[in-house]
Amino acid sequence: MADMHKGTYKKPRAINTVSVAFFLLLATAGYLIYCFGPAYLADYRVREIVHEAAHRYYKLSFLEETLRAEASSELVADTRKRIVDLLGFDDEEMTVQLLIDEETKKVNIVADYKVVIVFPGTEKRYTKHFNNVGESDFVNTGN
């Protein structure tokens, strides 16, 4: 005679190894987003500032040479100040550079800085290096 209980469906328990592993995975992802999210969001905003500064150089390219040099220095100083204001701290090693390529008529604004990320609960620190480049075309009138 056939066994009537063979092959019956056994309902899984609500808490099992798969649900525990999934919860741990979600908790870890949330923790990492909490730790790294603000740094990457600020980096995104810094990238926008750098691209905007590169596009602002276009107006400066029409100035006379001595005025252009002074305005370029002001542009770099203003960009650095905006980045420091956004980040909320002044990294002594942060560099903001204006690189001009006369052959290709391209200008690059480069922002290079570091952010220290502190992991809550462990007080371990991680230093993340960010490098952003904003590029734009410009016209040199030859004045």
User: Mean pLDDT throughout 28-39?
Assistant: 94
Span 58-72, pLDDT tens digits: 888 788 888 988 998
Q: Say which residue, 126 or 11, is predicted with more confidence.
A: 126
Residue 142, pLDDT above cutoff 80: no
The model's confidence at residue 128, banded by pLDDT at 50, 70 and 90, is very high
Going by pLDDT thresholds of 50, 70 and 90, the confidence category of residue 37 is: very high
What's the Rg (C-alpha) of the chain?
27
Whole-angstrom CA distances from 137 to 11, 57, 70, 87, 104 are: 65, 9, 20, 28, 8
What does the pLDDT look like over 74-111, one tens digit per residue?
999 999 999 999 999 888 889 999 998 888 888 999 99
Cβ atoms of 51 and 134 within 8 Å: the answer is yes
pLDDT at 140 over 70: no
Q: What is the mean pLDDT of residues 122-126?
A: 90
